[in-house]
Amino acid sequence: MPNPEETKPAQAVRNLPSEQIATALAVVIAPHLPLMEKLGEVKTVQRNTLQPLMSPGVPEHTAGAGLMAPVPTQIPVSSPPRGNPQQAKEGQLATATQDGYVRVKIRVEKGQLSVIDIKQVPGPLAIPSAVIRGYTYEVLLDEQQIALGSVPDVGVRRSFANRDVHGPEGKHHFAALPTFEFFARIPKGHVSTANLPKINIVLHNVHEAPDRLTTLTPLQKQSGVNTVEVGRLSGIKLEQLPPAIRPHLEQILKETDEL
């Protein structure tokens, strides 16, 4: 049986002083390292001559311009806001309406596109610089792209995998829907009586596209884009719209035609 004293790990003996003395010599724990230089005889520090030296002592307190103003003894009570804070100011709603966009709800049925709802939305509308794989719509006016957007989650039914069912039936798969709906957003300034017959809403199935689109030409004419046209709505005809949404479009046309 081994001796318990021999199995103990070796311990380094440090001759530490029994009391604290200000003038005592430094305790050397690692004798293989160089000793610290004495105070006032440091020669190994390399000073950067490009940096200014710190001034000795504590800087004096001065009443400079950067100090905060004294805290007032009495805090004034703010008056409550006048009117309805939730209501837009006069002239603000008109600006938002002019800079808004028209949200058109499109129904796709066996490749045929039709308008089923129209609403105007305040706020700006930006054309994205890229599209992803799947369904993408674009709005063309005189063969120039005025709106673009990806709608990859429409027109398909997804099923989850079932591990209890063997074979292809239990795998995760997709099924294309013959009828579905999506929203197309068009800048309101382009929706006018003169432009309605020239507006084309095109639905694409994008297979490949670059990380960034550089032109406003139709998608099928852009370099690096591989897409298949699913359907096209050539012109928006007021008389062919459902009677319930015609007043909404007539109000939009009344505002844009006056600009």
Inter-residue contact 202 to 151 (CB < 8 Å): no
pLDDT recorded at residue 10: 47
Domain span including residue 134: 92-257
Please identify which residue in the block is written with the tokens 């792209």.
Answer: 145
Number of Cβ atoms within 10 Å of the Cβ of 156: 13
Residue 206 in any domain: the answer is yes
Say if 83 falls within a structural domain: no
Q: Is residue 50 part of a domain?
A: no
Q: Is residue 36 part of a domain?
A: no
Separation between Cα atoms, residue 257 and residue 246, nearest integer Å: 16
Q: What is the pLDDT of residue 20?
A: 75
Q: What is the pLDDT of residue 123?
A: 87
- The 10 Å CB-count burial string (b at 16+, else e) for 194-230 is ebeeebbbbbbbbeebeeebeeeebbeebeebebeeb
Q: How many structural domains is the chain composed of?
A: 1
In a domain, 66, yes or no: no
Q: Within a domain: residue 216?
A: yes
In a domain, 188, yes or no: yes
Q: What is the pLDDT along the chain (259 residues), one digit of tens a residue?
A: 555 555 454 444 555 667 777 777 767 777 777 777 776 676 665 555 555 556 555 555 555 556 677 777 776 666 665 655 444 444 333 333 457 999 999 999 988 999 999 999 998 888 899 999 999 999 999 889 999 999 988 877 666 666 666 766 666 666 778 889 999 999 999 999 999 999 999 999 999 999 999 888 999 999 999 999 999 999 999 999 999 999 999 999 999 988 7
CA angle 154, 160, 164 (to 5 degrees): 160
Q: Is residue 178 part of a domain?
A: yes
